[in-house]
Structure 1
Amino acid sequence: MKIAFYGSSILSAYWNGAATYYRGILNDLARRGHAITFYEPDAFDRQQHRDIDPPEWLRSVVYPATQQGLQSVLAEAGDADVVVKANGVGVFDAELLAGILSESRRDALRIFWDVDAAETLAEMRRADDHPVRAALPRLDAVFTYGGGEPVIAAYRGFGATRCVPVYNALDPDSHFPVEPDPRFVCDLGFLGNRLPDRDARVAEFLFDAARRTPDRRYMLGGAGWDHAPMPDNVTRLGHVSTRDHNAFNATPLAVLNVARDAMAANGFSPATRVFEAAGAAACLITDAWEGIELFLKPDEEVLVARDGRDVAELLEALTPQRAHDIGRAALARVRGEHSYTQRGELVDAVLSEMAAARRVAA
């Protein structure tokens, strides 16, 4: 099928954590024979911080973040069999959603792909006129970054015809074990951009742990942390390119995952970096959230902490050998059960099923 995908960016992970998610799933769909065009705006300096060149397995269109640029790419929606609007594009989100509904063919599948379902649902509960809420009756399906049964039930409650969680996963061609890198030697590393709904949890799980263990060395990678107050034993790295993610994950004794507020509260929403870290055979310490055992087994494939005290205690008890064993067990689990090949297979099956049902109805 011909797929038109309107998202934040597939070329740059700069202030755009969904980039690797898009790459993994769409690359697999391309391998299955789908012809994909990814439309992204030239916004937020992402094009100046590209991680990859336009890949050969899809057509990449970067459009000016203007009304004219928006109309130029929406005009192509009518050529596609499947039209996808992802949330979090950052510019003209409401107009893009309305545009795919008005410009796509009547026989095309129209999908909203929510990479921040917990937050979107919270917004919809607060606003009866939310654009997504208004669009649901005309959409064929909602795909989500995760969220499990709670998100499915919530979207169905708002009137979605179908809601399909498509979880993050491992792209083994991009994330794999590498040799340690002297730049990232530390006891615990955390990689994540500074966001309002993550700030307090990073302070709780990373900074509090650092204060409790002043003899340990911590590293913080990601944009936005330049002026954040933190303990002296935490080193700020700034933006870390995806080219360095394997080394960042493979070098420290352990790496930390901290979910954003809404995702932690909802559960069943593992971040992309959970699988990237496991793919590099890192020993992962994650904050506690419901559903973790569906992806990694606590104490054997991942360590789970309830707060900064737990992080500090886990780190103090962690030996290099145990860290190695946990990382290798996690690597085996995600390679076997949580790859983008499996996620692509799911999306391909759902699209094929919906297209067949559309043909029968016609």
Structure 2
Amino acid sequence: MTQPLDIVIVGLTLSSSWGNGHATTFRALLRGLKAEGHRVTFLERETPWYSLHRDLPDPDFCELLYYDTVDELIETHRERLSAADAVIVGSYVPEGVEVIDRLAELQLRKLCFYDIDTPVTLAKLDRGDEEYLAKRQIPVFDIYFSFSGGEVLTRLERKYGARRAEALYCSVDEGRYAHTGEAPRWDLGYLGTYSPDRQPTLEKLLIEPARRLPEMRFVVAGPQYPDDIDWPANVERIEHLPPAEHAAFYSRQRFTLNVTRADMIAAGWSPSVRLFEAAACRTPIISDHWRGLDELLPHGEAVVIALHALTVVRTLTEMDEEARRHLADEAYGRVLSGHTGLARARELAAALAADSDGRESVLRKISA
């Protein structure tokens, strides 16, 4: 265990899991950090969308504070920010470019970025979209923590000038994700907010199999799906499923489907938190394919990789119970051994400690 650290995170949201994957990612990581003896303050922008849908307004594993403007963030919390061992800015923070510029001016002990959307971020930067991060700002961070690993880390350092790029995958809170013992209700389910680039895969790997297997039951949980989607009669829809109900949801599926955003497929090595959550609940996973998946969950051993509807149909109709349980157990073992919030917290703390090797602070200057 590293020495206790005082960490401040400026992130999109911790309080609300509605329509985003940031909250659950941060929650698992921060619970792990607390378990390791570290102190974390999370600063969240007060926004109408998340304030109306808060499911964790007062966490017991960190101090959660809200701010209304960038000026308030800097002026009200200046002392706290300056005293911290590390300040970490997350992706998709409102007015993120200004936030980073203002934080860089404070000459903090350590300023880092945690990109929970790395493939999306880099695709946006390549087309000149600097919604929450400017390309010129990447070299200012002591460490660029990335949701994606593999080749993406080399790209961050060589193409974008990151001083040091480290993979920090999402993770699962094993204390909150486990099989609940409930009987299966659905043969195949999917949990995820609607995304136009994921929808064709959902159509191919869940909706089409549902049409071919009218005697089986399917479910799709998540908000923002258009009204004009033609759902088969045997596909149940759940508009929103709070994190507290995720474990029961996975436990009631014979198989669950993992679908990946196009940018993340292109980048590779970008596992979604749903992948780890399902595995922790011992629910067998059918997934689309992306580079690096086999390194985490080998095909045929810990996951079924499906390129076509027929693979899904055959898996649902031909895999026996022993093989189904083996698939689930293999994924469970791999995830619990290396992809929990505690494991991720140790990786983060070790990376921060390794960066504090006695070198003199580098004066941060972001070029215009």
Classify 1:138/1:68 alpha carbon distance in 2 versus 1 (closer, same or farther; 3 Å).
closer
CA drift of 1:165 comes to 0.6
Q: Secondary structure at the match of 1:29?
A: helix
CA drift of 1:252 comes to 1.2
Q: Secondary structure at the match of 1:95?
A: helix
Q: Secondary structure at the match of 2:253?
A: coil
- Structure 2 residue identity aligned to 1:240: L
2:177 paired with 1:208: no
**Percent of aligned pairs with the same residue?**
28
User: 1: distance between equivalents of 2:350 and 2:70?
Assistant: 35
User: 2: distance between equivalents of 1:118 and 1:328?
Assistant: 30
Gaps of 5+ in 1: none
In the other structure, the counterpart of 2:144 is: 142
User: 1: distance between equivalents of 2:130 and 2:292?
Assistant: 32
CA contact 2:139–2:160 (8 Å) conserved in 1: no
Deviations 1:320-345 (A, max 9, x none): 44322321222122112322222222
Q: Secondary structure at the match of 1:290?
A: coil
CA contact 1:295–1:338 (8 Å) conserved in 2: no
Q: Secondary structure at the match of 2:113?
A: strand
Q: Secondary structure at the match of 2:162?
A: coil
CA contact 1:9–1:41 (8 Å) conserved in 2: yes
In the other structure, the counterpart of 1:192 is: 192
- Structure 2 residue identity aligned to 1:205: L
User: 1: distance between equivalents of 2:58 and 2:154?
Assistant: 37
Classify 1:127/1:114 alpha carbon distance in 2 versus 1 (closer, same or farther; 3 Å).
same
2:111 paired with 1:110: yes
2:101 paired with 1:98: yes
CA drift of 1:279 comes to 0.4
CA contact 1:219–1:237 (8 Å) conserved in 2: yes
CA drift of 1:30 comes to 2.5
In the other structure, the counterpart of 1:27 is: 31
In the other structure, the counterpart of 1:161 is: 163
CA drift of 1:226 comes to 5.3
1:335-350 to 2 correspondence within 5 Å? 335-350=336-351
Q: What is the number of equivalent residue pairs in this alignment?
A: 355
In the other structure, the counterpart of 1:351 is: 352
2:312 paired with 1:311: yes
Gaps of 5+ in 2: 364-368
2:84 paired with 1:77: no
In the other structure, the counterpart of 2:65 is: 61
CA drift of 1:193 comes to 0.4
Task: Compare relative contact order (CA 8 Å, sep 6+) and give the higher one, 1 or 2.
Answer: 2
- Structure 1 residue identity aligned to 2:239: G
CA drift of 1:251 comes to 0.8
- Structure 2 residue identity aligned to 1:102: E
User: 2: distance between equivalents of 1:35 and 1:123?
Assistant: 33
CA contact 1:169–1:339 (8 Å) conserved in 2: yes
1:258-337 to 2 correspondence within 5 Å? 258-337=259-338
